[in-house]
Structure 1
Amino acid sequence: MNLEDITRLIKERRTHPTRFFNDKEVPKELIRQLLENGNWAPNHKKTEPWRFIVYSGEGREKFVAEVKDTLEQAQQNGADVPADKVNKFALHFRKAPVAIAIVANLDAEHRLPEWEEMAAVSMAVQNIWLSATAAGLSAFWATPPFSNLLGNPLDLKPNQKSMGFLFLGYANRPFPANGRESIEDKIVWKD
């Protein structure tokens, strides 16, 4: 690996909406390797705050049904849960062969600020995403507006927070780069 290879990989990473995914199965060993790469993200105090729940096959539909039941109950208790967002969430689970719940397992001793733990989880997701790109997979990270209501379906502990879902699959077509504005507009040099 050299700098040019990693630069190309970073620039080739894309967000592919799940509507462009096909039904091709993602091998379990490939998913395991992606998660292993996520496990090597940097973080302070070696808390390793990332946790992943992988949904595939029938597990996707079972989880969506549990989420819908939870959200219906929340609505009965006064929560505002837009039906269109719930339907969109369910569609992502149906279109993507793999859905990975991203969970921040916050340090129970509070040795670090929460934002640092969340940043570490985000770096783990970036490792997974770049690895998925290298393997020819497409990815889409979505955080539904009702994430805070998913504690029971995700079986979250009191020190855990949902950070959304990373959907993986193979795309039916390449997705064009949206480009970036010049880095020079984002740097202040103080020599």
Structure 2
Amino acid sequence: MITTSIMQIIQERRTIRQFSNQSLEIDTIRDIIDVARWAPHHAKTDPWRLILFHGEQRQQIIHMAKKAYTHLSETALSAFISYLQTVPAFLIVVMEEKENRKHWEDDLCATSALVQNIQLVAWEKQVGVAWRTFGEQLTSRMKEHIGVQQDEKIVGVLQMGYFDDVPTVTERKSVDELLTIM
């Protein structure tokens, strides 16, 4: 077995938007989540939950998209729906909304760390992920259709599947541009 360092995985991971026809098994997704769930949270809680749309259940997400994206032209909507049909799995990442702003921010940061862990573990298993976020107007309409409570926030919709091609590297800012030393 060839092992890859975490540094290499972080640098090589790419957002995957084009998936192959290879099916993605639920057990593979469960294995990814089983490792990713160890995301840090100083309150030692798991402020997230996950909802998986896989197989025929994916049609619920696609049906919702048809209703939500009525502002698109017929051609653009048709292309978008065709694209969604190629996504093997949709993993909805949800967190509880808290009134206390500090707790809400802590939970959002921890849930974002969970998503990053999912992306990294998936990459190691050669599963691609695209993390999609949407505005509150769209997610509030999504909630009732996918079992999300009103006191929960959709942090992201993770599109998951195997892939054939790795996108090219996008240039990033250098450490010198990002780091201020005091």
TM-score (norm 1): 0.80
**SS at structure 2 position matched to 1:44:** coil
**SS at structure 2 position matched to 1:179:** coil
Equivalent position of 1:61 in the other structure = 59
1:1-80 equivalences under 5 Å are 5-17=5-17, 20-66=18-64, 68=66, 71=68
Is the alpha carbon distance of 1:175 and 1:67 closer, same or farther for their aligned partners in structure 2, counting shifts above 3 Å? closer
Deviation, 1:66, is 4.7
Equivalent position of 2:94 in the other structure = 103
Identity of aligned residues (%): 25
Gaps of 5+ in 1: 73-80
2:92 counterpart of 1:126: no
Deviations 1:4-59 (A, max 9, x none): 81111100110122xx2111111221100111122111113223111111111100
Kept in 2: contact 1:47–1:107 (CA 8 A): no
Kept in 2: contact 1:140–1:167 (CA 8 A): yes
**SS at structure 1 position matched to 2:94:** strand
Number of aligned positions between the proteins: 175
Gaps of 5+ in 2: none
Is the alpha carbon distance of 1:44 and 1:86 closer, same or farther for their aligned partners in structure 2, counting shifts above 3 Å? farther
Kept in 1: contact 2:65–2:81 (CA 8 A): no
TM-score (norm 2): 0.83
Kept in 1: contact 2:62–2:85 (CA 8 A): no
